[in-house]
Amino acid sequence: MVDVTLLRKLADKSKFGYGKYQTLSVRDVLNLGHPNYIRWCYFYSDKISFLDSILDEVKIPKEYRIEKPGRNPELGDKLEEEIMSNARDKDEYYRMRQKQREINLMAEIHRDRVSYSKGNMERINHGHRK
């Protein structure tokens, strides 16, 4: 029996398909201003990777890149600490946290979108709403 390793290398238009932002593309998450989620997915998910241009955009240096498939949460935590220590002041950190709260609210709005599959449209047409 052969084990097949599936590795997803996500591009700008790729949808996550799981997690908080399952309905959004990678570019949508970056446009919302949440590179932390991309970094978390990179270091904590063993079968998810991103194009080098995206890794550069979310500030993952070449020395922090890991061999995929594989995961290294410790290296991800170390990078996050380094990024936070390079923040100019604590006010900038609190502004980033506030922006993340706004992003989470926006993601919650996107999460409540209705899926218009054939079966779902049939249920709606028959008078069933939820």
Residues 95-115 pLDDT 10s: 777 788 787 777 776 666 656
Q: Which residue has the tokens 């926006």?
A: 106
Which helix (H) or strand (E) segment holds residue 56: the answer is: helix 52-57
Q: pLDDT at position 62, please?
A: 92
Contact 12, 25 (CB under 8 A): yes
Residues 40-82 pLDDT 10s: 999 998 888 999 999 999 889 999 999 988 888 899 889 888 8
Overall pTM > 0.75: no
Query: Which token pair is 17?
Result: 């398909």
Amino acid at 64: Y
